[in-house]
Copies of this chain bind each other. A is one copy, B any other.
């Protein structure tokens, strides 16, 4: 059972282990939104967003509801928003190291995206 709980936690973490999916959850912080709006806000490919939404759906992070032509998404539990907020504090608390870590991460891709920070 302890095992199951850890497996469950790992699943949640994995569901959130992508910047785009985090952006989606954050976009839904103040309530539900149709997929189209999410896509527009994030500025990603439609298919890509849909794939990420599918991941969040499969891991039960978001709920969805159809209304006519569109699909509205919402975060299933505000507890997850709370987790994101805790990590924001974590980020700030360790700001110096965080930045170091990020720049180090960026270096490996800086050649790829030309260093732009949209």
A45 adjacent to chain B (CB < 8 Å): no
- Segment at the interface with B among A31-39, A64-72, A95-103: A95-103
A83–B80 touching, CB < 8 Å: no
Please list the residues of chain A having a beta carbon within 8 angstroms of any beta carbon in chain B. Answer: 3-14, 16-19, 21-23, 26, 59-60, 76-77, 79-80, 82-84, 86-91, 93-94, 97-99, 101-102, 105, 117-118
B83–A87 touching, CB < 8 Å: yes
Choose one: B3, B19, B79, B89; the contact of A86 (CB below 8 Å): B79
Chain B residues near A97: list those with CB within 8 A: 60
Q: Which of A22, A87, A99 has the most CB of B within 10 A?
A: A87
